[in-house]
Each structure stands twice: as C-alpha cells, then as structure tokens.
C-alpha cells in the first residue's frame, strides 16, 4: 500500500501554473492596421490561424483565377493518394483546347503530363490546363467542381461554391477571403511539394515562355506564392504568402483596381504583420508537460501533454509576458487511454486567452489489482475529508 495521503490532499487542489514570465503591467500597444483598397481582405498567420487584419472576410465574392488554388489542391490530394502520377499523360479534349481566357497553349488530341499541366495551372494560370486536369481526374469539369465543393466543406469553407475549375465568371461561383486563407494554409502545410511550384517564376511549354503572374515574387524575396486572379466582376485579386524567420503569413486581397494596387495592398498587409507580430513555438506534440498522480493504476503517475505542436502569435516583444496555466483534473483514475482528456493548457497575455488545448494522456495506463485499488480508495476517501471543495 502507498502512503500518499498528504500527496492526495495536495493533488486535490487540482491546478498548477507554469509561467514564461511576469505579466506585463500594460497591454501591448500596436498601431492600427493599414487602410487597404479592396472589397475584402485578410492577413492570417499560417501556423496559428490567428487573423491579424480583416475586412469583409466572409462576404462571398467572385474569385477569378484564385479558383485554381483549389484546382491544384485537388490535384495534390489525388497525387498523395496515388490515384494520379506526375508523369501520367493526359489526352487533351476539344473543350480544354477551346477554353477561353489565360492559356497554357495545349493542343487538342495531344498528350501532356500531369506535372506540366500543374505548372500550366499554377505558373501560367492556364484555363485550358485547368479543364484538362479536371477532366483527367474526375471525367468532366462538372464532376470535378463537385469534388471541389466536397473538399471545401471538409476545410470549413462556408462561403464558397465552385461551378468550374478555372474561375471564369458565373453567378454561382464564389468564395471569400477567409475561405481562401483556410485553403491556402492547408495547401502550404499539407502539400509543401505542390505549394513549392507557386514560387517558380516562369514556365515554358510548347516553346512559349510565360512568367508567373504573381509579380510579388520579384519584389520581395520572402514571398513564395500564391496566386493572382482577374475578371471584370472580380477585379484584381491576389493571395500571397511569405515566410520570415519562423513566421509565415498569408494575405488575401479581393476586388482591387489594378495589378499594381493588388501588389501594393498585399505588401502593406505583409509588412504590418511581420513588423508588429511574432509567432513562437512553445511546446511539442506528445512531449510530457506534466506528470500527474494516477489512482487505481499499475503505475503511480501518468504523463500529460498536447497532441499538436503549440504555436502562438503575439505582439512582437511580448513573449516573456505570456503566462502558461495547466488545469488538471482533481483525480485521474485508471484505466486511461492515450489521447484521453484530463485537463487543459491555457496561454494568456494579460487578460486575453491567446490559446487553449486539451491536456491528454500520452500513453495507456492499465488498472491495478484489487488490493492496490482498495488502498487507493481508502486514501482518496480520507483525503477528501481534508479538502475544502
């Protein structure tokens, strides 16, 4: 039998705190975000999902060729699943060849590899390439649009509906700045090998060289994507992403007046975010944050942690003002299973809760024999007599 009545009484208090520093006496002072000349815009941290600047972010708007981010995303899903391969040869249909707008200049009846079509979509913004790849993956562009909408639902893109793979104008074809940021964030984090194509500055096909339409790639060496779009209804749009040090930001501007304006406004957003905010990784997934008392178990303790890496985005220079708090169940009983929730990790900056996540068991904990469990029951019973709860 284990003599731990005093430990039990202390443990029943149930809360422990771990601080990175002393709380700041005053709240962080940050200037207001810049004025942005766009119908809808957003600046988001790609690791934490924290929105730093926003306006009309959920308003459905025509996306023009920003649609092709989803077209390439579906292709990335299919490549990862092994249902298509980069060297697959795609037969070009009459419909793909005749699709109007920006073009890769593929020809009817020829065969083009999936890899080349992806570059034609991403770098050259080819509508013809988009239709050809859509037909190869789903059999028809309509069926592909259905796949796009299913994927949108999985990503939580609640203000989005696609009817084609190109972004050519249609009243039923729309998305929002928020939804595009969610999509881009997922593309970057889930399919880095496909996202890397967005940083390529030019692509030549059929002896016709074409530059990447995202001219921010030349203006800012930290920018490595993403996609431009333009129609009369949509105006000039740009989703951009840049990484500086360990921080990656995604900006979305929709409905600007010109190519120059969409670049300028995107640069404003990115500069503001990198100047006044920072992102830090605080804890790693599945690394113990707390060893807690275990009752009725073969072991006396159980290790608790988080299931995903913990990142926070905070005003620059205020990392030491972040306070971490672990709230743990008063009594943890065996049997317990890996992933079972027994508390919460909370990160605070002043009075603001900046992050929270469940504290979970990092491994299974088996139940002890009957005599050991009986001893723990007695200790818990008498320990409760000394508790003020």
Q: What is the pLDDT of residue 326?
A: 94
Which of the four pLDDT bands, split at 50, 70 and 90, describes residue 370? low
pLDDT tens, 64-106?
A: 999 999 999 999 999 999 999 999 999 999 999 999 999 999 9
Mean predicted confidence (pLDDT) in 22-45: 83
Name all domains of the chain by residue range, CATH numbers in brackets: 5-25+282-385 (2.60.410.10), 40-256 (3.40.710.10)
Residue 25: both structure tokens together: 């006496």
- What is the residue-wise DSSP string for 133-194? HHHHHHSSHHHHHHHHHHHHHHHT-TT-B-S-SS----TT-BB-HHHHHHHHHHHHHH-HHH
Nearest to 18 by CA among 259, 304, 240: 304
Mean predicted confidence (pLDDT) in 282-295: 92
- What is the residue-wise DSSP string for 92-136? PPHHHHH--SS-----TT-EEEHHHHHHHHHTS--HHHHHHHHHH
pLDDT tens, 302-344?
A: 999 999 999 999 999 999 999 999 999 988 988 999 999 999 9
Task: Tell me the pTM.
Answer: 0.86
Hey, which residues are catalytic here? 65, 68, 125
Nearest to 249 by CA among 198, 181, 159: 181
Mean predicted confidence (pLDDT) in 51-64: 98
Which of the four pLDDT bands, split at 50, 70 and 90, describes residue 51? very high
Q: What is the pLDDT of residue 26?
A: 58
- The position carrying tokens 């100047």 is 275
């Amino acid at each position: 039998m284990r003599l731990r009545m005093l430990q039990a009484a202390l443990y029943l208090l149930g809360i422990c705190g771990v601080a990175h520093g002393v709380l700041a006496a005053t709240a962080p002072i940050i200037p207001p975000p810049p004025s942005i000349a766009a119908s809808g815009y957003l600046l988001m941290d790609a690791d934490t999902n924290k929105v730093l600047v926003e306006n009309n972010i959920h308003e459905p708007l025509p996306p023009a060729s920003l649609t092709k981010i989803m077209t390439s995303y579906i292709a990335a899903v299919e490549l990862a699943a092994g249902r298509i391969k980069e060297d697959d040869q795609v037969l070009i249909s009459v419909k793909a060849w005749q699709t109007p707008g920006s073009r890769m200049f593929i020809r009817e009846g020829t065969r083009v590899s999936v890899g080349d079509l992806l570059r034609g979509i991403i770098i050259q913004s080819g509508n013809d390439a988009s239709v050809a790849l859509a037909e190869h993956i789903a059999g028809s562009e309509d069926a592909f649009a259905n796949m796009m909408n299913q994927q949108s639902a999985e990503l939580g893109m609640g203000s989005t509906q696609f009817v084609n793979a190109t972004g050519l104008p249609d009243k039923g074809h729309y998305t929002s700045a928020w939804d595009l940021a969610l999509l881009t964030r997922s593309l970057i984090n889930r399919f880095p090998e496909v996202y890397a194509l967005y940083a390529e500055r030019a692509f030549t096909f059929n002896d016709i060289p074409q530059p990447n339409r995202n001219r921010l790639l030349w203006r800012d060496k930290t920018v490595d994507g993403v996609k431009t779009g333009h129609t009369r209804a949509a105006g000039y749009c740009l989703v951009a992403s840049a990484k500086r040090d360990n921080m990656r930001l995604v900006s979305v501007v929709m409905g600007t007046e010109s190519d120059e304006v969409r670049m300028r406004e995107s640069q404003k957003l990115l500069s503001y975010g990198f100047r006044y905010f920072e992102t830090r990784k605080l804890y790693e997934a599945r690394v113990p944050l707390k060893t807690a008392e275990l009752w009725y178990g073969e072991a006396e303790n159980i290790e608790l942690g988080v299931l995903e890496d913990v990142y926070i985005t905070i005003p620059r220079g205020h990392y030491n003002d972040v306070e971490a708090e672990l709230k743990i169940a008063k009594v943890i009983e065996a049997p317990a299973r890996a992933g079972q929730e027994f508390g919460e990790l909370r990160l605070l900056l002043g009075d603001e809760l900046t992050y929270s996540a469940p504290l979970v068991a990092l491994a299974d904990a088996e139940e002890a024999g009957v005599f050991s469990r009986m001893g723990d029951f007695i200790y818990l019973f008498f320990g409760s007599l000394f508790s003020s709860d």
